[in-house]
Amino acid sequence: MDFGIFGSILVLSMFFKPLTCQQPNTDAFFVSEFWKKMNFTSSLHQNFSAPVCSWEGVHCDAHENVLQLVASGYGLSGSIPDTTIGKLTKLQILDLSNNRIIALPSDFWSLGSLTTLNLSSNKIFGSLANNIGNFGLLETFDLSNNNFSGEIPAAISSLSRLRVLKLDRNGFEGRIPLEILNCQSLTYIDISLNKLDGSLPDGFGAAFPELKTLNLAGNKIKGRDLDFSQMKSITSLNISGNLFHGSVTGVFLKTLEVIDLSRNQFQGHISQVEFNSSYKCFDLIYLDMSENQLSGDIFPYLKQTQNLKYLNLAFNRFARQEFPRIDLLWNIEYLNLSRTSLIGHIPSEIAQLSKLHTLDLSKNHLTGKIPLLHTKNLQILDVSHNNLSGQIPLPLLQRLKSMERFNFSYNNLTLCSSGFSIETLQKQFYGSLNNCPIAVNPDIFKRTATKHKGIKLALALALSIVGLLFLAIYCIRKSRTHLVKQTSFREEQNIPGPFSFRTDSTTWVADIKLATSVPVVIFEKPLLNITFADLLSATSSFDRGTLLAEGKFGPVYRGFLFCGIHVAVKVLVRGSTLTDQEAARELEYLGRIKHPNLVPLTGYCIAGDQRIALYDYMEYGNLQNLLHDLPLGVQTTEDWSTDTWEEDNDNDIQNVGSERLLTTWRFRHKIALGTARALAFLHHGCSPPLIHRDVKASSIYLDYNLEPRLSDFGLTKVFGNGLDEEIARGSPGYVPPEFSDPDNNYPTPKSDVYCFGVVLLELITGKKPVGDDYPEDKDASLVSWVRGLVRKNQGPRAIDSKIHDTGPEHEMEEALKIAYLCTADIPSKRPSMQQIVGLLKDIESADHH
């Protein structure tokens, strides 16, 4: 061990011998002392036995004066000591970048011959000394990516020859000093990502006639576009992330190739920018004006910017407008028009943009189908939060797996999801309809009396349905619920019928011979052999203790199927004019309609003359009970879940409806927007459009994620022409005024809009549609009372006191205006559900901008 230590010392002494044999007070001595004291011993960079002037990165004149010292990335660490490089009086170029230096020596500022100083990417901290005025010959000054703080010293005025100034990524504070205007030879300035504030010095734009690049990004500097109007040579301007305001027209200088004005407070119409002979728009390569307050129309002159590669206009306040002309932007690689109020269709000409790498059209009001895109170079695609519909083009779907990022969520799109993970479907396709082709064999719906009918039906469906991707979703969701152990009716193979059941308001009969002979179809688990006997078991023979509701179509029961599925069983007791085969086809069609704001139809059963629909069970009940103050601990048959009103150990939910969830405006807005999205999907995303006919608070449920979901859509189709006139007209308080005319009472999308308007009024006011206490007019309905207040300019009086202080009042007033439009007496004056989704999104957008 002693020999090992002695050997190490011997080797080190031999290694440093050439460093200690230099003549004192010579440049060679000072450089060797610098290496030794900075703990630099790597022979990979230097041959220390050779003369200092021959070392890599060291250049000397004929008198062995060191003129250049380059030690970038050498692993130097700590403080530079005095009497080392600070004594190199002839030094002209010093590059110590990409090391771990933390401080400079006191004699550093005597290097008056320096023309290039690069100390970037170190850890030097403290303020910058006024002694920089000693560097009068300096042309390149780079202190970027360090920990400097304090103000930029006024002594910078002495650097009259300075051409490149890089102080970015530090902690410099205060104003940009007026004295910087003396550095009139500057061609490059980068002081981005500091803590600078205040205004630019007067005359800043005219002070630098040769300036080509200016980067002030990531500070808090104030100013206007005219601050830059005198820059005659500027080609690259980045002032993003500051406090500049006013018009942008003065920024568009004729020499500019790169313009970044993002994250400021610019206002006005950018269409006023004149692309003419005075501005060489053909030279523009990069343009970013995102996250400002720009209005009006998007550039009408984009076709003239044919060399543009990067365009970002996202998050502004443009007027609603059709998609701009972009077909001539042949070189565009990045295009972001997110939240720019675009309406209408995405033009098919977008397929001509063959170099496109990134396309973001999210958070707009675009409709129609996604056109074919040139996908060769496309890596990022976001069309989420629009009203797009139809199939996602197959070539685009096939390309997605090789892309970096994509998002189609919150639209009314359809796709065949084969090959995508469940996580991808939930995050990137949220709200899309999984619609793989289904070859339906009508013969499977024919009723037979054979004992094995259920097995044959299940096998036929298994062969016809392609893809079982959502099986895992159901397993995960249902694992949350507590499975109740029940006696299986499968244990008794010969349960005789018919079966009769009674509730307080109705009696219904399943006229079948054997419960095990009638199959139950579960859409996403077609291999399961489930029969009516299992429904009897799941609902304790449709016992009143499992009764959840008695709606206009019939009773609803809660049930746990043996396969772990928690369902709401809706018995459609009203007479139907459809045959069993026709009813089965309608239920199959409704089962394929998927949207995150619709209660999914899980399956169905044709039991004699009864049509039974199975829905996903909604854990937190419906809006009717939650909104209108169901007392704590009280359970009614209108509520689907006793858990709604009891303490939940997992989520600590107690009296969710009246004291927690619906006492905030944000949550009520969420319910309104989700319901609007569901209706917009039914009206505009289904072909032919599906009219709900019975939108009301009791048909809106909350799932386990507290997402609103609309129920009972399309059920009238199952009845054919068999619905009573009273039921077909709608529920009290929700009946549109045009239904009072016997010749004009056929449901339309605009009648759904009226019903939605009533629900929106309930969310805003907290009052019921009829039978509530309406001040000053005891006999009024909710609609007539609110519309009367709005006409008197007293709308805010209608806002529910429970939510009055939980959000911006102007948002609630805007929502009230939307409800006013929805409940117009004349159907043609009501907006479409697509428009309503856009209006509700705009309320949220304005608050979070």
- Annotated active-site positions, please? 694
User: What b/e readout covers 755-766, taking b as 16+ CB neighbours within 10 angstroms?
Assistant: bbbbbbbbbbbb
CA distance 296 to 317: 8
Overall size of the chain counted in residues: 849
Residue 398 CB partners (closer than 8 Å, separation 6+): none
DSSP per residue, 591-660: HT---TTB--EEEEEEETTEEEEEEE--TT-BHHHHHTTPPTT---TT-S-GGGGS--TTT---SIIIII
- Reading the block at residue 101, the tokens are 């230096």
Residue 267 CB partners (closer than 8 Å, separation 6+): 245, 246, 247, 292, 293, 294, 295
CA distance 198 to 766: 48
Alpha helix stretches (DSSP H) within 634-742: 665-680, 715-719, 725-729
Element (H, E) at 267: strand 265-269
User: Position 159: which residue type?
Assistant: L
For residue 410, give Cα distances in angstroms to 205, 316, 365, 427, 831.
46, 21, 11, 10, 20
CA distance 40 to 75: 8
The dihedral region occupied by 741, where left means phi > 0, alpha psi between -120 and 50, and beta the remainder, is beta
The candidate with the shortest Cα–Cα distance to 147, out of 184, 108, 193, is 193
Tell me which residue has tokens 């018919």.
Answer: 498
Cα 658–836–597 angle (5° rounding)? 55
Q: Are strands 380-382 and 358-360 parallel, antiparallel or unpaired?
A: parallel
Cα 193 vs. chain centroid, distance in angstroms? 26
Tell me the angle at which helices 665-680 and 749-765 cross, rounded to the nearest 10 degrees. 170
The candidate with the shortest Cα–Cα distance to 590, out of 606, 610, 578, 604, is 604
CA torsion angle 409 413 414 419 (round to 10): -30
Contact by Cβ (8 Å): 313, 289? yes
Tell me which residue has tokens 């394929």.
Answer: 592
Q: How far apart are the first and last CA of the chain?
A: 69
User: Position 627: which residue type?
Assistant: L
DSSP per residue, 88-148: -TT--EEE--SSEEEE--GGGGG-TT-SEEE--SS--EEEPPGGGGG-TT-SEEE--SSEE
Contact by Cβ (8 Å): 236, 214? yes
Element (H, E) at 149: strand 147-151
Q: Are strands 220-224 and 547-550 parallel, antiparallel or unpaired?
A: unpaired
